Structure formats: C-alpha cells, structure tokens
C-alpha cells in the first residue's frame, strides 16, 4: 500500500494503493531462495499470517497484532488484523477497533488530523500518541493515526477519492507501516502545502499545517531502542493457492544473530521516493518500481494479458493459461537481478479456491509503474532498510532479497 510520499519539499510520487478484491492465483517464484530460513521466534520476531483478514475476504495480505498502550501506563489493548505494509510508514488503526482514550496531538490548542492519500483512496483521522509493544520490542510516545472520525475531511483531502475509514472499506483493522522511511511525509518537516496534516478548530473547519518530523506519524521500528534499522519479511513459498501461510516479521538488520543480511542482494532505493527500476517487456519503469506487501498482487502494464471481467475481479489479469514471465530489477546505483514470476487467471482461481487467501500468482493492471506486491514475498526473505539508520549492505534506504 504505497502512499504519496514527500521528503523535504513536497513532491508527488508514483503510487499504487492496495486493491481489495476477492481474488487470487498460484505461482512458481523460481528466483526464490531454495535455502530460505524462516525465523520462528525471538524478542525481535513478530508472527504474521496471510489469511482472509478480519473481513474474511481479503486475498494476499499479511496480518499481525500490535499492543497499544496509553503513554506511561499499563492500560493497553491488543489490536489484531493489522495489515503488514512495506509500502508505507506508521501505525494506523480504525477508531472502531480502538477503545483506549489516547492522548490527542494539538496545534494552537486544536486537535491535529492527518489525511494520507493512497491511489485507492485516503485515510482521515486524528493524530494521537501511544506506547507500542510489538513482539518483544517497545516504542514510547509514538504518533499514530486513528482512522475514522466525526470531523469532516476538508476538500483538499476528500478530493483524493474514497474514504477508507471503516472495516468494510479498509478491509483491515489498520495498517502497520514498516516501509523504508522513518516518517510518513518527510524530514525535517512535512510542509502545509502537502495537505497531509491539519489543525481542526471545529468538526467542519480544518486548515493545513506544517508538521515537524518529531510530530509526524512515525514508522514504529525506527523508534525501537535496538533492532531499529529495518525489518525482514519472511514468508515461505506457496506452490499454489493456500488457506493461510504463516511467517515472521523480523526487526533489525544485522543487529542480532537471527537477522543477518547474509548473501541477500541489496537494491538501493531513491531516498525521496523509495523506488528503483524494473525492466519488463523492453520497458524501463525508471524510479517507478517498488516492493509493497500492502498490495495484493503484482501490478504492472501488459496489454497482451487479458483483464478480468469488469464485474468480477476488476483490475486483475485473467490470461487463458498461466503466464510465466520475467523482469529485471535494478537499484538506483547498486544491485541488479532477474525475477521470474507467474500470472494466473484470477477468476478461475477464485472459483476453484474460494476458501483460500494466499495466492502467489495474482496480478493486475497498472500504469507506468511496477508494483511487486505480496506474491513477490512468498519464498523470499525481503529486507527493508530504513532511511537515516546504519545498516549492513550500504546506505539506506534499500531493499534486499
């Protein structure tokens, strides 16, 4: 789930939101590591599962649980069904899933709200402060977004499309954004011109404000005392549709014996967009490609692959038979390698496997970009190194696998 991203001066970046649909596929990720190891436990290991999620119909999404606490207290609540998302940064929780009265962030004595746009729509809600417990890691006084409120989003926000502010529209109880960036907008501040942060003097009057990096909704991993330089998403291979696939989200890169970079190839990312380059079918998606566990398929342009019927699995591909494809990823200045992947007929597999949630060859259409969504993660350990943090393998931000 990749939002618009700014760093320093606001810039609109290539983005693709999650696609919530009843869909799937099966794949052979032939470039996956044959000796993949899944880290089963540890203080820095969070269990994740690809299942149908809290709505019971969300394909190709990895979910996890986080414990949220009122700052400085033991008054806590476990929030389940959070989408694990390498395409965004920060924790976002539906107000309907949260019962704790968290501390409200203010500006000029007015509550601060955030509008985060995705291609699929936007999330709108107050910025509040919480202590977090994630596996054995903790982060204190973390700014998070609580999605959904009676305060009306201003037109500069609502013009982004549909409000993903309920369980039925978001499809999850929230989003655990563990992407490449420490903040969800930029450093040293998010400018008012970004139309991301607002102070609201009433339920119908909200004005854009500049938000300092310390106040922005923050990638919680960057606030851990240790293991704070990135994550590893570890999901076992799936040879076809499966009801569920269980793996691990490991915190830190090269900080403990269970999170070494090893022989993974590093692909450095553009420090302002988080993107790299994919070459596919002779086209270079230059600085317009990314690895996003919050997208539930491979999304890329290919006019030779038939799309699915518009009333069934809209946006997904429906080839007559499974297509075996390949593309080459290249970092901004470091890393290059071929990836083999497959795209199956989404409608056929939805019909054949109605109780499954893990589909490793689900794919769909996109324009001028290549989104390596959750199917890419099956059978790979994917490293996400956070900007501004010291990590083995070179200067972050980078992807590695």
pLDDT along the chain (401 residues), means of 10: 38 29 31 73 98 95 98 98 98 98 98 92 97 98 96 96 95 98 95 98 97 98 98 96 97 98 97 97 97 97 94 92 98 98 95 94 97 98 97 97 98
Structure tokens given for 275: 């993107």
Other Cβ atoms closer than 10 A to 342: 21
Pick from 388, 119, 397, 116: nearest CA to 276: 397
pLDDT of residue 193: 97
Question: What single DSSP character describes residue 334?
Answer: S
The whole-number pLDDT of residue 120 equals 76
Cα–Cα–Cα angle for 234, 236, 240, rounded to 5 degrees: 140
Predicted local distance difference test score (pLDDT) of residue 14:
26
Give Cβ neighbours of residue 304 (< 8 Å, ≥ 6 apart): none
The answer to whether 60 touches 375, Cβ cutoff 8 Å, is yes
What CA–CA distance (Å, rounded) separates 26 from 363? 10
**How is domain 45-223 classified at the CATH fold level?**
Cathepsin D, subunit A; domain 1 (2.40.70)
Instruction: Measure the CA–CA gap between 53 and 159, rounded to whole angstroms.
Output: 28
**What local confidence, expressed as pLDDT, does residue 119 receive?**
77
- Closest to 151 (Cα-Cα) out of 110, 195, 101: 110
Count of residues making up the chain: 401
Cβ contacts of residue 339 below 8 Å, gap of 6+?
29, 31, 326, 327, 328, 329, 372, 376
Query: Which segments within 323-367 are labelled E, that is strand?
Result: 323-330, 336-343, 363-364
Peptide bond into 188 cis (omega under 30): yes
Structure tokens at 157: 């926000």
Predicted confidence at residue 311, as pLDDT, reads: 81
Pair 375, 362: CB distance under 8 Å: yes
Query: Which two three-digit tokens encode residue 137?
Result: 């890691």
pLDDT score at 2: 62
User: What is the C-alpha separation between 297 and 16, in angstroms, rounded?
Assistant: 11
Distance CA 210, CA 63 (A): 32
Cα separation, 303 vs 373, whole angstroms: 19
Helix (H, G, I), strand (E, B) or coil at 218: strand
Residue 266, C-beta contacts closer than 8 angstroms, at least 6 positions apart: 331, 334, 335, 383, 393, 394, 398, 399, 400
pLDDT score at 9: 21
Which H/E stretch holds residue 127? strand 121-134
Q: Are 344 and 319 in contact (CB under 8 A)?
A: yes
């Amino acid at each position: 789930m990749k939002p618009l991203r700014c760093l320093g001066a606001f810039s609109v970046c290539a983005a693709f939101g999650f696609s919530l649909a009843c869909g799937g596929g099966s794949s052979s990720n032939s470039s996956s590591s044959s000796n993949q190891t899944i880290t089963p436990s540890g203080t820095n290991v969070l269990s994740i599962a690809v299942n149908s999620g809290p709505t019971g119909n969300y394909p190709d999404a990895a979910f996890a649980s986080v414990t949220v606490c009122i700052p400085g207290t033991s008054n806590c609540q476990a929030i389940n069904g959070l989408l694990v998302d390498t395409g965004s940064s920060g924790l976002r929780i539906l107000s309907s899933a949260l019962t704790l009265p968290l501390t409200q962030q203010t500006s000029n004595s007015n509550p601060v709200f955030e509008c985060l746009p995705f291609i699929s729509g936007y999330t709108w809600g107050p910025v509040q402060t919480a202590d977090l417990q994630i596996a054995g890691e903790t982060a204190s006084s973390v700014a998070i977004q609580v999605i959904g409120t009676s305060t009306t989003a201003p037109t500069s926000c609502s013009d982004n499309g549909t409000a993903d502010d309920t369980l039925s529209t978001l499809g999850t109880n929230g989003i655990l954004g563990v992407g490449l960036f420490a903040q969800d907008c930029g450093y040293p501040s998010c400018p008012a011109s970004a139309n991301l942060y607002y102070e609201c003097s009433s339920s119908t009057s909200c004005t854009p404000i500049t938000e300092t990096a310390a106040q922005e909704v923050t990638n919680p991993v960057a606030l851990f005392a240790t293991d704070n330089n990135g994550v590893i998403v570890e999901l076992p291979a799936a040879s076809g549709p499966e009801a569920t696939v269980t793996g691990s989200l490991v915190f830190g890169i090269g900080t403990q014996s269970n999170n070494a970079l090893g022989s993974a190839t590093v692909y450095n990312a553009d420090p302002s967009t988080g993107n790299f380059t994919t070459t596919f079918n002779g086209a270079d998606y230059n600085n317009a490609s990314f690895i996003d566990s919050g997208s539930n398929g491979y999304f890329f342009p290919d006019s030779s692959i038939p799309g699915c019927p518009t009333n069934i699995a809209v946006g997904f591909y429906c080839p007559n038979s499974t297509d075996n494809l390949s593309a080459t990823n290249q970092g901004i200045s470091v890393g290059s390698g071929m990836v083999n992947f497959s795209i199956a007929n989404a409608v056929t597999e939805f019909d054949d496997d109605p109780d499954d949630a893990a589909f490793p060859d689900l794919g769909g259409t996109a324009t001028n970009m290549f989104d390596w969504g959750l199917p890419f993660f099956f059978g790979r350990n994917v490293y996400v190194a956070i900007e501004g943090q010291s990590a083995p393998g070179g200067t972050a931000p980078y992807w590695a696998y």
